[in-house]
Amino acid sequence: MSVDSYLELFTTLFGWAFYGVLWDVLVSTGIVYLPFLGILIDNWREPAEGGEFGTVTGLSLRRMEIELFIALLVVVLAGQPAALTPLNAGTLSYAPQPTLTDPTPAAATVAAPQSTYGVAGFTGSPATVNIPVWWYAVLAMTSGFNHAVVEGLPAASDLRTYEQQARLATIADPRLRQEASDFFSECYVPARSKYQAERPATAAVAAVLTTYGDDDPDWMGSHVYRDTTGFYDSLRPTKQIPGWAYNAARDTEYDPASPPTWGKPTCKEWWEDGAAGLREKLIDEADATSAGFSGLVVAVAPILANEQQEDAVVRTVLNNAPPSWSSNELVAGNTASTGWLATAENVVKGGLATGGVITASALFSVTMTAVLQALPMVQALMLLGIYALLPMIVVLSRYSIAMMVVGAMAIFTIKFWSVLWYLAMWVDQNLIQSMYPDVNVFLQIFANPGEHDAKRMLLNMITTSLYLGLPLLWSGMMAWAGLHIGKSIDVATNPLRNPAQDAGQRGGAIGKAIAAKGARK
């Protein structure tokens, strides 16, 4: 039997174990017999109040037999745990949805939960729990129905995983952060200044902009600066770069007789070198801080060239940990939190972000991530509560058939939330693809702050409302349907009781008429 979350593997077993405990207490205290006593009293009292005329006694006995038979049937099917329908831990499994980071996830079982559930928490779950026949049938039908619906729905690409992983990719190594800042100051700023001053309009530059976008000159790894003569190929840092060996043919400003500790590579070498290049270090750092992020980019955008995929990885890391202008003396003297420049900068940023779209977008993103993680847990715990409390409902309903149907609808309603969440995810992925049809723009902008924050905030609001609103709408519809079904079942069983009640009322009326006639005489 399949369940819908890692936690539900264990809450299902514990819920029905608590059901068995509570049912045993109700049996040992005799409470389970009180509804039978109530049936006997009601079917004796109501006809007797009408007098002893006609066929009241026979109809009362017939009605009593019917209600006792229905109550016993409900006890057998929906009250007493049956050895005929055991719920075995070995038969429970959960098949997670494939993601970009894990396209073939392993199925979770109680023996191999693929989580800390059952290992560090929710330990000691029973291996086998006997449950009533009716509720076992409800669980089996609901599980099969849900998974059949999900299998029939279109597949959804897991683009939200990219957003979450992209936010984790950053520069954790302080030495690498310093090197990125040095490259920014020593290479990018001079190249950018030269490009702005000269504005080269050659065919080669136009071709690069066509391939990599008009915003290519706006970041450190620009192909305009790397592939155009006179930029990164000729620019060199003003100081020695640790890790780069001295090269007499290149580092001509030093005396070969007393070489320096390190050399000064060209900016193109510094960025592109396969072993010591800054770009390769940033890609490795992205994979270290966000496991497998470079592979995730390939999975999201397989149609892009390898160079564009690597650019997307590096730009994401630099957006999350932007370099500072390390050679600016004004900044260098005021980089601490007590510096007047840092204080002013924080005040301005705080003022802008307090009521700005960036704060709202980030808030919705964090909220949505928390909601998506919490919803399956809430579902599993609510089902645990329903399973555990069902014995009380069975008894307090006086073993009503309507209760069986309404209870089954309640379980089906909550378990069907999983289908609605899959539908919400499918809608979300298609909205993302519609709003970011250019995959290159998606990689650069979707998970990073900027001018498209309003669009991302809109997406997050819609997604959150779908994940919360669809289950609420569905639950409301099922509550309405369950109420009417319960009333319909009661109406359907009323003809079995009405003859005795009508006979009693008619007998009472006849008795009153005779008494009144005798009084007049």
DSSP 44-57: HHHHHTT-S-TTHH
Q: Is the pTM of this model over 0.95?
A: no
Q: Among 83-92, 185-194, 354-363, 442-451, which is the least confidently predicted range?
A: 354-363
Same domain, 149 and 189: no
- Sorting pLDDT into bands at 50, 70 and 90, what band is 500? very low
For 151, residues 6+ apart whose C-beta sits below 8 A from its C-beta are none
Using pLDDT thresholds of 50, 70 and 90, give the confidence band for residue 59: low
**49-58, 89-98, 277-286, 314-323: segment of lowest average pLDDT:** 49-58
On the question of pLDDT at 200 being above 70, the answer is yes
DSSP 8-state secondary structure symbol assigned to residue 88:
E
Same domain, 86 and 203: no
Q: For residue 43, what are the contacts with CB-CB under 8 A and spacing of at least 6?
A: 60, 63, 64, 67, 500
Parallel, antiparallel or unpaired: strands 82-88 and 93-94: unpaired
C-alpha distances out from residue 346 to 340, 351, 449, 450, Å: 10, 8, 17, 18
Q: Which amino acid is at 91?
A: T
pLDDT of res. 361: 54
- Based on the fold, state whether residues 238 and 144 are members of the same structural domain: no
Decide if 119 is inside a domain: yes
Largest CA distance in the chain: 147
On the question of pLDDT at 385 being above 90, the answer is yes
* Helix then strand then coil, % of the chain, to nearest 5: 65, 5, 30
Q: pLDDT confidence of 460, banded at 50, 70, 90?
A: confident
On average, the pLDDT of the chain sits at 79
Poorest-confidence range of 216-225, 296-305, 407-416? 296-305
- Average pLDDT in the 453-477 region? 81
pLDDT band with cut points at 50, 70 and 90 for residue 505:
very low
Q: Cβ of 91: how many Cβ atoms within 10 Å?
A: 12
User: Residue written as tokens 């026949």?
Assistant: 133
The secondary structure of 315-375 as a DSSP string is: HHHHHHS----TT-HHHHTT-STTSHHHHHHHHHHHHHHHTSHHHHHHHHHHHHHHHHHHH
Determine the 3-state secondary structure of 85 from DSSP.
strand
pLDDT of 488 over the 60 cut: no
Q: Is the pLDDT of residue 355 over 50?
A: no
Residue 353 lies in a domain: no
- Whole-angstrom distance, CA of residue 290 vs CA of residue 196: 35
The tokens of 146 are what?
Answer: 């849900």
Q: What's the structural domain count of the chain?
A: 2
Residue 510 scores a pLDDT above 50: no
What is the predicted pLDDT for the residue at 333? 46
Among 306, 339, 372, the domain boundary falls at 339
- Phi/psi region, residue 94 (left: phi>0; alpha: psi -120 to 50; beta: rest), is beta
Phi, psi for residue 87 in degrees, rounded to 5: -100, 110
275 lies in the same domain as 173? yes
Domain annotation covers residue 50: yes
Closest CA to 474 of 149, 181, 180, 227: 149
For residues 119 and 233, membership in a common domain is answered with: no
Distances (CA, A) of 402 to 41, 374, 492: 21, 32, 10
User: Counting Cβ atoms within 10 Å, is residue 107 exposed (0-12), middle (13-18) or buried (19+)?
Assistant: exposed
Q: Is the residue at 1 inside a domain?
A: no
Higher pLDDT, 164 or 204: 204
Q: According to the model, what pLDDT value does residue 334 have?
A: 47
Residue among 300, 289, 398, 315 nearest 37 (CA): 398
- 363 phi, psi to nearest 5 deg: -65, -45
Please say which residue of 339, 372, 390 terminates a domain.
339
Distance CA 115, CA 380 (A): 15
Instruction: Tell me whether residue 437 is in a domain.
Output: yes
Contacts of 221 (CB under 8 A, 6+ apart): 271, 279, 311, 314, 315
For residue 52, the model assigns a pLDDT of 52
Same domain, yes or no: 171 and 143: no
Mean pLDDT of 293-311: 85
Q: Is residue 416 domain-resident? A: yes
- In this prediction, residue 29 carries a pLDDT of 92
> What does the pLDDT read at residue 496?
42
- Domain final residue, candidates 339, 374, 407: 339
Q: Are residues 120 and 39 in the same domain?
A: yes
Q: How many CB atoms lie within 10 A of CB 172?
A: 11
pLDDT of residue 429: 86
DSSP bridge pairs for 128: 88
Assess whether pLDDT exceeds 80 at residue 517: no
pLDDT at 352 over 60: no
pLDDT at 350 over 70: no
Shared domain check, 331 and 184: yes
Please give the helix or strand (H or E) that residue 87 lies within, else none.
strand 82-88
Whether 348 is covered by a domain: the verdict is no
Do 303 and 366 reside in the same domain of the chain? no
| pLDDT at residue 419, as a whole number | 92
Given the structure tokens 């970009």, which residue do they identify?
100
pLDDT bin (cut points 50, 70, 90) of residue 25 is: very high
Tens of pLDDT, residues 138-189: 999 999 999 999 888 888 777 878 877 888 888 999 999 999 998 999 899 9
Q: Does 315 share its domain with 170?
A: yes
Above 50 in pLDDT, residue 503?
no
Separation CA 221–CA 283 (nearest Å):
12
Is 302 within a domain? yes
Whether residue 430 has pLDDT greater than 50: yes
19 and 65 both lie in a single domain:
yes
CA distance 339 to 509: 98
Note the pLDDT of residue 65: 81
Rounded alpha-carbon distances, angstroms, from residue 18 to 129, 347, 384, 392: 10, 56, 9, 12
- Which tokens in the block code for residue 354? 């307090």
Q: What is the DSSP letter of 91?
A: G
Q: If pLDDT is split at 50, 70 and 90, which confidence band does 330 have?
A: very low
Other beta carbons within 10 Å of 67: 22
Residue 242's closest CA among 187, 183, 295, 319? Answer: 183
Percentage with pLDDT > 90 across the chain: 22
| Greater pLDDT, 441 or 378 | 378
Instruction: Give the pLDDT of residue 450.
Output: 54
Considering the domain architecture, whether residues 364 and 498 belong to the same structural domain is answered as yes
User: Residue 388 pLDDT more than 70?
Assistant: yes
Six token digits for residue 128 = 């086998």
Q: Which range of residues forms the domain containing residue 203? A: 162-339
